[in-house]
Amino acid sequence: MSEYIPSPTDWVAEQVELYEGSQGTKGFTLRDTGLPVVIVTNRGVKTGAVRKTPLMRVVDGDNYILVGSQGGSPKHPHWVHNLKADSKVEIRDEAAVYSMKVREVVDSVERQRLWDIAVATFPNYKLYQEKTDRVIPVFLAEPTH
Ligand code: F42
């Protein structure tokens, strides 16, 4: 088992600790929004370390949609590079943990469909896209059987 390196952003690391430490019974919403969050566990492309990232819970059937918005910042979050290099992830959704494989969605029709679901779930994504020149990456996580 590789070393786990917590996020250097305090409130993010604290959310991960509360969520995982309570087996998904606490800390599963985004601060004052009350909207649910999942924890994505994956491997860092450079360090090989275990990384854990809270993201909004956006679902499409059994699949999860992962949106690399990072508040509309000018650069992609690091986890985007990690997921492009290694598609194997675990997703914790409250008490449930799923093994999944992710892919970046590049087909424009498919991306639009998933983006619309994401914005309907978390309307701030639309504001974040308006804030930045980069096209916010969208990933689809599908169960591995
Ligand atoms: N971020 C989103 O992009 N989308 C969301 O829907 C979202 C929801 C959300 C809900 C709750 C919450 O607490 C946070 C939420 N966030 C959301 C923020 C999200 O959890 C991440 O903090 C944010 O997206 C930034 O991701 P990041 O991977 O850039 O994390 C930074 C702070 C970080 O940890 N950076 C590390 C560092 O040391 O600076 C590097 C991490 C890393 O993965 N390094 C790799 C390695 O090898 O280990 C190399 C990566 C590379 O770029 O090559």
Host domain of residue 15: 10-143
pLDDT recorded at residue 33:
87
CA of 95 to the centre of ligand 1 (A): 22
User: Quick check: is 4 in a domain?
Assistant: no
Cα three-residue angle 138-113-79, rounded to 5 degrees? 10
User: Quick check: is 90 in a domain?
Assistant: yes
Mutate to test the pocket of ligand 1, among 15, 39, 79, 102 (most ligand atoms within 8 A of CB): 79
Q: What is the pLDDT along the chain (145 residues), one digit of tens a residue?
A: 589 999 999 999 999 999 999 999 999 999 888 999 999 999 999 999 999 999 999 999 999 999 999 999 999 999 999 999 999 999 999 999 999 999 999 999 999 999 999 999 999 999 999 999 999 999 999 999 7
CA of 8 to the centre of ligand 1 (A): 9
Backbone angles phi, psi at 54, to 5 degrees: -75, 135
User: Quick check: is 5 in a domain?
Assistant: no
CATH number, domain containing residue 25: 2.30.110.10
Residue 70 near residue 76, CB atoms below 8 Å: yes
User: Quick check: is 1 in a domain?
Assistant: no
pTM (whole model) above 0.85 = yes
> Which residue has the CA at smallest separation from atom 39 of ligand 1?
8
Domains contained in the chain, number: 1
